[in-house]
Homo-oligomer: A and B are copies of this chain.
């Protein structure tokens, strides 16, 4: 069930059955010469929809633009500042908690969001409590990174070994190829496996260290078939995680 495709009475009815909602969060940022700029948002959205179907859960609108300040030296990269994202998360949660939602499961497609989401959840719990919103102290948020699910991670290592890397990875590229088979991009990757090992500092420094945007990866290994396997693993494991999250007392 997609929130966008429901009416408000349908949401009201859903809330008599469940107080859980899935919120996909990605990013709009460079993913190397062949990766789609929407990679992280696409992956999060696709997996979240799969989990929503499998778990009969409501899926909210995708947060398309995440925390990608370090990628902004590449054309087309967009970002929220962390302080803006903290405000956005608080805004998103406030009315939904008033409506009765208390379990927020963020299916995340971007490593760069993790820290800010954690900060945002802490700030939101307290802001909700200060507003004396009923159930505020029972609210729980969880970040579920599809690419860090054990089964996904294991599969990626089997398929790509050290060439998985950490940005513009073959596994995320494969998942977008599965989702958008008409948008598989080709380009010469030079070197084949991108450099790695540099810490992330300013946007300018990032581009200096990672000239084509990839970090340690060889996305040329990706195939749509891999994408399907990764998708299925992610949906299965995150569905289980979501149900456990709901069931926890």
A64-B141 Cα distance, complex, nearest whole Å: 20
Closest chain B CB from A88 CB (angstroms): 6
- CB contact between A3 and one of B28, B126, B203 (< 8 Å): that residue: B28
For A62, A63, A92, which residue has the most chain B Cβ atoms within 10 angstroms? A92
Interface string of A1-24 (1 = CB under 8 A from B): 011111111111001000000000
| Copies of this chain held together in the complex | 6
Name the distance in Å between A150's Cβ and chain B's nearest Cβ: 17
A35–B11 Cα gap in the complex (Å)? 12
**Contact, CB under 8 Å: B61 / A35:** no
Q: Please, how many residues of chain A have a CB less than 8 angstroms from a CB on the other chain?
A: 89
B126 touches A81 (CB 8 A): yes
Interface flags, A67-111, vs B, CB<8A=1, else 0: 101101011111111111011100110011011100000000000
Tell me, in angstroms, the Cα distance from A74 to B15 when the chains sit together.
Answer: 12
Chain B residues, Cβ within 8 Å of A243: none
B185 near A69: Cβ-Cβ < 8 Å: no
Residue A116, interface by CB 8 Å: yes
Of residues 136 through 168 on chain A, the ones whose CB sits less than 8 Å from some CB of chain B are 136-142
A62: which B residues are within 8 A, CB to CB?
64
Say yes or no: is A34 at the interface (Cβ < 8 Å to chain B): yes
Q: Please tell me which one of the listed residues B34, B79, B138 contacts residue A91 in the complex, with CB atoms under 8 A apart.
A: B79
Taking CB as reference atom, which chain B residue is nearest A112? B122
Task: Knowing A199-B140, A204-B129 are in contact, say whether A37-B4 is a contact too (CB < 8 A).
Answer: yes
CB-based contact B4/A36 at 8 Å: yes
Residue in B closest to A70 when the chains form the complex, CB atoms: B122
User: B99 to A180, Cβ gap below 8 A?
Assistant: no
A38 at the interface (CB under 8 A from B): yes
> Taking CB as reference atom, which chain B residue is nearest A7?
B185
Are B8 and A30 in touch, CB under 8 angstroms? yes
Q: How distant is the Cα of A246 from the Cα of B30 in the complex, in angstroms?
A: 25
> With A11-B75, A81-B126, A82-B122 in contact, is A4–B115 under 8 Å at CB?
no
Q: A131 contacts the other chain (Cβ, under 8 Å)?
A: yes
**A201 in complex: contacting residue of B33, B72, B139, B205, CB < 8 Å:** B139
Decide if A227 is an interface residue (CB 8 Å cutoff). Answer: no
- Report chain B residues within 8 Å CB of A50: none
